[in-house]
Every structure is written in structure tokens, then in C-alpha cells.
Amino acid sequence: MTRRPGFLVYGLLIAFILGSVFPLYWSFLVPSHGNDILTDKVPPLLPGGNFLSNAQQVLDTIPFWHAMVNSVIVSGSVALSVVVFSTLAGFAFAKLRFKGSNVLFVLVVLTMAVPTQLGIIPLYMAMSEFGWAGHLQAVIVPNLVSAFGVFWMRQYLADAVPSELIEAARSDGCSMIRIFWHVAVPAARPAAAMLGLFTFMQSWNDFLWPLIALDQNNPTIQLALEQLQAGYYVNYALVLAGTTLATIPIFLLFVAVGRQLVAGIMQGAVKG
């Protein structure tokens, strides 16, 4: 092993991480004291005791739990659907030979770069036509598949499933779908979990499309937060209490699976 780096490396990294954490800490610090620390010459560095009362006020102002449940439903269904369809297609691209597979895969890669967000106007017209506007399916259905997901699962399954295993299963008379279920799915599990996690977080953060497709009576958490800011502009203790409340679940998720998230990002970089 090479030798340990010096203080300079640690110092710079710690400074970078402090800068990364500070805005989030600030969004907790303000509601834990109150708006008056915004005018302090030197604001306090330790939290005060008002966070819970500000948080309570958030719950009284916006349909926080309703919005949270909506976000979980939307992000959960989108993540599940992306994982299922990507694993199926990824398996076919990685392990099965069929006419046109190369052309189709190039198509997948190209669609990764297509800014589908620019199609929101016809999408909105369609949603109004179907009467879906304002309902959760309006934000779930347009996100059911992901080109990146297919790409990601293909790259992973190409190495993770030995072709001999599939051949052996075939010659034993195993049908394709059983091979998929008993050979590919178990092997795909780590990559599928990662894809699910990324998709969940991406969908959780989505703002533009939910803003168009949903309304304030049935919001996702992002819309509810925006509503909080729009209605109570000056009261930062309230608004920041809202952002902190909404960040806590994701932060806990991050503490639990952050290690895998880091590994996933780095893995994706090398494969991609």
C-alpha cells in the first residue's frame, strides 16, 4: 500500500464536505431557533429548541403526510416498473441473440440522450383528455420505463450470467421465461437494487412534470414544499422546517444504503 496522505489532503476534503453539509444543517438550524437568527450578525452554530413547534406548523399548513404518501406511491411504482422492464430487456440484450438486436440496442443508447422532458405539452394535452390530470397515474405512467435502466442492466448481466448456465438450462428443456426467472433474476439482484434506488430518488425529486400534471389538492412532497414557499415567503423558519422534514427520510435512507450508492455510482461510471 502507498503511504497515508498528509494533513493537507484531509483538510481540503473535510472543508469540501463541510461545505456540502452546511446548507442542509442551516436548513435545520433556522427552524430550530426562529427567524430572528437571520438578522443576527453572528448566527448561533448549535441548534435551539424550536424545531418541533415549527415542524408542527408545517403539518398544519400543508398536507404533508398526504404528499409524502403520494411521493412514496409514485416513486415506488416508477422504481418497480423501471426495474422489471429494464431487467427483462437487459437480459434479452445481454444474453439472447436475435435479429436486429444490435440496431435496437443502439436505439436504446440514443434514446438515453433524448430530452423527453421537452414533450410535456402533448403529454399534458393527453392527460387532460384522459381525465388523468390531478391523479397519480399522470405522473407514474410517463416514467414507467428508462433507457438508462435497460443499458445499465444489460451491462451488468453481460458479465453476471455465465452463458454456459443458460445453455445447460436450455438443453434440459427449460423455457426462456423460466431461465429468466431462475438464472437471470437472482444474478441481477444487486444491479436491480441499485437501479431501483436511483430511480426512486430521481422520481422523488421530479418537479416540472408533477407541477403540470398534479394540483395542490393531491401533491407530491416537492409540490407541497413549493406550495409552502409560495404561501409563506417571509417565514423561513416554517419553509425550512418543511424542507428539513422532507429531507429526513431520504437522509436516513442515505445513511442506510449510502455505501451501496457510492459503489453504484462508481460501478456505473466504469461500465458506462
Partner 1 sequence: MTLTRLPARRPEATAPVVARRDRLDKLDLKVSPYLYVAPFFAVFALVGMFPLLYTAYVSLFDWRLGDDTAKFVGVGNYTELLADPQFWNALVNTISIFLLSSVPQVIVAIAVAVLLNTNLRLRTGFRMGVLVPYVASLVAVGIIFGNLFGVNYGLVNSVLDFVGIGKIDWQADRLASHLAIATMVDWRWTGYNALIVLAAMQAIPPELNEAALIDGAGPWRRFTSITLPMLRPTVIFVVITSTIGGLQIFTEPKLFSAMPGSDTGGSTNQFQTVTLYLYQSAFDNQQLGYASAIAWMLFLVIVLAAIGNYFITRRLSR
Range 45-84, binding partner 1 (CB under 8 A): none
Q: Select the span of 56-64, 72-80, 138-146, 188-196 touching partner 1 (CB under 8 A).
A: 138-146
Interacting residue with partner 1 among 51, 64, 93, 152 (CB under 8 A): 93
Site membership for partner 1, residue 131 (CB under 8 A): no
Region 2-31 residues binding partner 1, contact defined as CB under 8 A: 2-5, 9-10, 12-13, 16-17, 19-21, 23-24, 26-27, 30
Strands (E) in 168-245, as ranges, are none
Q: Select the span of 46-54, 57-65, 72-80, 105-113 touching partner 1 (CB under 8 A).
A: 105-113
Grid-cell match 443502439, residue found: 106
Q: Select the span of 51-59, 61-69, 160-168, 185-193 touching partner 1 (CB under 8 A).
A: 160-168
Q: How far is CA 56 from CA 36, 52, 230, 239, in A?
A: 19, 6, 18, 12
Distance between CA atoms of residues 195 and 68, nearest Å: 22
Interacting residue with partner 1 among 59, 69, 144, 256 (CB under 8 A): 144
Q: For partner 1, give the closer residue by CB, 53 or 207.
A: 207
Nearest CA among 125, 99, 84 for reference residue 213: 125
Site membership for partner 1, residue 192 (CB under 8 A): no
Q: For partner 1, give the closer residue by CB, 105 or 193.
A: 105
Region 162-181 residues binding partner 1, contact defined as CB under 8 A: 163, 166-167, 170-171, 173, 175-177, 180
Secondary structure of residue 41 in the 3-state scheme? coil
Nearest CA among 159, 230, 184, 5 for reference residue 87: 184
The answer for residues whose C-beta is within 8 angstroms of residue 202's C-beta and 6 or more apart is none
Distance between CA atoms of residues 116 and 97, nearest Å: 29
Q: For partner 1, give the closer residue by CB, 72 or 88.
A: 88
- Residue 150, exposed/middle/buried by CB under 10 A (0-12, 13-18, 19+)? buried
Q: For partner 1, give the closer residue by CB, 23 or 49.
A: 23
Region 224-253 residues binding partner 1, contact defined as CB under 8 A: 225-226, 229-231, 233, 236, 239-240, 243, 246-247, 250-251, 253
The answer for residues whose C-beta is within 8 angstroms of residue 147's C-beta and 6 or more apart is 108, 109, 111, 112, 114
Q: Select the span of 55-63, 72-80, 103-111, 187-195 touching partner 1 (CB under 8 A).
A: 103-111
Residue 267 Cα to chain centre, angstroms = 17
